[in-house]
Structure 1
Amino acid sequence: MASVYGTSITLSIFGQSHSPAIGFSLDGVPAGIAIDTEQVQQLLDRRAPGRSRTATARRETDTVEFIAGLTDGHTNGAPIAGIIRNGDTRSRDYDELRRIPRPGHADYPAYVKYRGYHDVAGGGHFSGRLTAPLCAAGAIACQALESRGIRIVAHISSLGTEPILDMPLDPLHLNPSQATLIRANALPCVSTAAASAMHDAILGAKAEQDSIGGVIECAAYGMPAGIGDPMFDGIENRIAQIAFGIPAVKGVEFGAGFQAARMLGSQNNDPYRVSDGEVAVQSNNAGGILGGITTAAPIIWRMAVKPTPSIARTQASIDLEHMSDADLSIHGRHDPCIVPRAVPVAEAACALALMDALLTDEGAAAFTGITTANDQKD
C-alpha cells in the first residue's frame, strides 16, 4: 500500500481502524523546532469521534504517544513517530462485509486487489480513522509554519444537497475574528447561523437513516512568494496529492476553481499594485498560486467531501461467496456527516504540503535558521 507522502519530508501512516493502534512516522523534519504537544492534542481533539450528536458514537481519546523524534520540547532531527491506541472497537459489526461489500466503500475493489486478505473491520486501512495520525503529523507542521508567520485556517464552506453556505474566508488577509468564530461555533463555521443550520441538516439526515456531504475551504496566510515548481511539483500538486489521501475527498479546487471557467480573462486575472513597497494583488482568483508557484497572496483551496457511505438504509449489494444479488443493512456506529471532523484534517494536510515545499526550496534554514555544510559550500 502506498501510504507514504512527501519529497523533503516523508510521512508514513500505518494501522487499521480496529488494529491495536494506528500511527505515523515523519522523517526529514529539521532539528530544533519547538513543538508544544498540548497543541498537537488540541488539533486531534477537534477531529476526534464521539464528541457531538452529529458524529459517530464511537468514543476514542485519540491521545497521541510520541515515541521518537522529540527531546525537551524540540525536534531532534530523528524521524518523529507517534502512535494512537484504538480502544472503542466493535469488529463484530463488520463480520458479513467480507462477502457483502458496502456500496460507496472500498470493500469490493479491496477484495479484488488483496484477494480477500484485507481487514474489513471499521474499513481497515481505508478508514477515516487513519486521519488521526495525519492530524498528529500535520499539527507538527502547523507549529513549524507558525514559527515562519504562516497560519492555516479552514471551515465548512457549504453543506448539504441544497447547500447551506458559510461566509468565505478573507481571500487577501488573515482575519483573526474569523478564526475565533470558527472555533467558537457549534460547527466549524464563520457564521453562527450557518453553523446552526448545518447542525440541523446533519441531524435531519441522521433521522432519515441517511448522510450528507459538503465542501471545506482552507486558507494558508503568510506564505512567501516563489515557493513551488511548475508542472508536476507545484503547490497545487502537493496539496491535491495529500488531500486525495483523505478518505471521502472527491474533488479539489484552488482559488476561483471551476468558477474560473465561467469568467472572462479580465474578470479572472488578479491585478497587481505596489502597497507599502511590496507587490500585492487586488483579488485572489488564482488562490495564491500561479504556474505552481506561490505569489505571496493567501493560498485558498477547497475540497469536496462525499456523504458518508455507511448508512442504515437498506442498499443493494452482492454476495461475493455465492455470486448473487443481496441487500445490505449496515450496522455499527457511523457519522451522518464527516465534514465537520474533516476540517482539522484539511488544515493538517495543507500544513504538511507547504512544509514539504518550503524545505524543498529553502532547506532546513526555512524553519531553523541553520546554515548547513552544503549551504556554506554554495
Structure 2
Amino acid sequence: MSTYGKLFRVTTYGESHCASVGAIIDGCPPGLEITAADIQVQLSRRRPGQSNLTTPRDEKDLVHLQSGTERGVTLGTPIGLLVKNEDQRPHDYSETDLYPRPSHADYTYLEKYGIKASSGGGRSSARETIGRVAAGAIAEKYLKLAYGIEIVAFVSSVGKIHLPSSVAPPSLVASGDEDDDEAQDALSEEFRHLIKTITREEVDKFSTRCPHPETSERMTQRIIRAKDAQDSIGGTVTCVIRNVPSGLGEPVFDKFEATLGHAMLSIPATKAFEIGSGFKGTEVPGSKHNDAFVRRADGKLGTTTNWSGGVQGGITNGEDIYFRIGFKSPATISQGQQTAQYDGTPGELAARGRHDPCVVPRAVPIVEAMAAIVVMDQLLIQNSRKTAASLLPPITTLPPSMVQPKSSKAV
C-alpha cells in the first residue's frame, strides 16, 4: 500500500511523470511551527541535478503546503503537500512499449495490476520519495524540538570502496586461523567516534556525501567511471539516530528494528539492511559482543559498548541507534542490453532518459526521512500507552524490581 505508520501516518501519491507528487500526513501533533522553508531544506538535498554525479533532470522540487497548517502552525488535522513535476520527458520511454527494462518494475507492475505507467518507473520511481522526505522533515522538526533527537546519514561505500569502519584481529590476519576467537571490536574506534559526532554540515561538504576526504575522492572517481561507461554502481548509506528515549518498539512483530528495516527496505533500489554490528557481529563471540550495563552520570543505565545499535529485545535502550542500508546499482543504464520483449522475442534494449549513475548520494535525506517517520510513529504509540497507564492507581502488590514509579510524563 501507499501508507506507512499507525499513529503518524504518511500516504504518498504520484508517478515519475505525472503532474505532481506529494503526501498526506495524518497524526502530526497540533501546535508545531512548520513552514515550507523547513521542509524545503531536505527536499533540496534530495533533488536531482546537484552535481555531475547525479541525474541531470532539472527539477526544483518546490513544496506547496495545501492544508493542516495556519499561519505556520500545525492544526492537528491532515497536512497536505505537493511538488510539481516540471521537467517531464515521457517520450524518452517509448521503448517500454515493447520491452520490460531489465531489473525495473515494468514487468512486475504489469503482472500485478494488469496495467502500468507508460513512462519512467511510475510508482516505483524515486520521484515517489519526495512525499516521504517532506513528511520526514515535519517529523524531524517535532523530534528535535520535543526530544533533541538528531538524525544524520552519510554514504559509507560505493562499489568496493568503503569508508574505514572495522578492524581485524591481528592474530587472525597473521595466522589465517578462522577458529581464533581473539576478536577485537566489530567496529573501529574511529568509526564509533564518527557515529557519535558526525553532522549534516560535515556530510554535505562532499558531493558524494561521504565525510572522509580520501574515500570521498575515490568514490567520486568510481561514479564518474561508471557514468562515462554508460553504466551504474551501487553503495551503502549509514545512519545514526541520537537521543532516542528508551522503551520504543512493539514486540513481537513490530520490534523497533523490524519497523526500521521495513521502512528502509521500502525505499527504491534497496537490497540490504543491518543494524548495530550487523553481519560483522556474527563473527564475534558473545563474550566480546555483549553490551555490559553501567550507571551513567544522569543516574540511568547505559551500556559500555553499543554493538546492539541501541535496540535490545526489539526495544530501544537509550543508546545511539545506527544502521546501514544497501542500494543496488541503478537499473537504468544507456548500454545496449540483450533481453526480451513482452512477447518473448529476443532483442537489444538501450535505455534513454536521464538517470543517476549511483543513487547513494541522493538517498541520504531519504534515509533520514524514513528514520524520522519511524521514530515519530513509535514515540506516539509509546506515549499513548504511558499516558493511559498513568491514569491508574500505583501498583503496590509487586516488588519494586518489577515496576517503575508512576509518572504522568510521557517518554
| TM-score, reference length from structure 1 | 0.92
Q: Report deviation, 1:36.
A: 4.2
Cα distance in 1 between the residues matched to 2:17 and 2:191: 36
Structure 1 runs, 4 residues or longer, greater than 3 Å off: 166-174, 374-378
Q: Say which SS state the counterpart of residue 57 (structure 2) adopts.
A: coil
In the aligned structure 2, how far is the partner of 1:245 from the partner of 1:31? 28
For the pair 1:30 / 2:29, whether they are aligned, the reply is: yes
Give me the identity figure in percent. 36
Distance, in Å, in 2 between the alignment partners of 1:180 and 1:170 is: 18
SS at match of 1:146: helix
Give the corresponding residue for 2:121: 123
**Equivalence for 1:315:** 337
What do the CA deviations read for 1:236-287 (whole angstroms, capped 9, x no partner)? 1111111121100111110011112211001221121112123121211111
Structure 1, unaligned stretches of length 5 or more? 366-370
Cross-structure match for 2:16:
17
Residue 321 of structure 2 aligns with which residue?
A: 299
Shift of the 274–191 alpha-carbon distance from structure 1 to 2, 3 Å rule, reads same
Q: Hey, what does 1:151 align to over in structure 2?
A: 150
Structure 2 residue runs of 5 or longer lacking an equivalent are: 166-189, 393-411
* Deviation, structure 1 residue 79: 0.6
> Does the residue aligned with 1:66 lie in a helix, a strand or coil?
strand
Q: Is the 8 A contact 1:169 1:219 kept in 2?
A: no
Change in Cα spacing, 1:112 to 1:98, as seen in structure 2 (3 Å) is: farther
Contact 2:164 2:191 in 1 (8 A): no
Query: 1:30 & 1:170 partners in 2: Cα distance?
Result: 34
How many angstroms apart in 2 are the aligned matches of 1:363 and 1:74? 23
Contact 2:163-2:212 within 8 A present in 1 as well: no
2:284 alignment partner AA: M
SS of the residue 2:59 aligns to = coil
- Where do 1:268-307 residues align within 5 Å? 268-276=289-297, 277-307=299-329
Distance 1:111 1:220 in 2: 38
User: What does the per-residue CA deviation read over 1:4-57, in whole Å, with 9 as the maximum and x for residues that have no partner?
Assistant: 111111111101000000110110111112224323101110110012111001
Deviation at 1:191, TM superposition (A): 1.0
Q: Which of 279, 282, 303 does residue 261 from structure 1 map onto?
A: 282
Counterpart check, 1:90 vs 2:110: no
CA RMSD across the alignment: 1.9
TM-aligned CA distance change 1:259 to 1:271, over 3 Å: same
What's 1:346 paired with?
Answer: 367
Cα distance in 1 for partners of 2:91, 2:2 equals 26
Counterpart position of 1:368: none
SS in 2 for 1:232: coil
Q: Deviations over 1:192-220 (max 9, x none)?
A: 22222211110111111110110100010
Provide Cα deviations, 1:291-347, integer angstroms capped at 9, x if missing partner. Answer: 110010011111100000001111122111x43112110011110001100001000
**AA partner of residue 313 (structure 1):** Q
SS at match of 2:34: coil
Shift of 1:105: 0.6
Residue by residue, what CA displacement relative to the aligned partner does 1:170-191 show, whole Å, maximum 9, x if unpaired? 4797415x44311222321221
Specify the alignment match of 2:180 in structure 1. none
DSSP-derived class of the 1:184 partner: coil
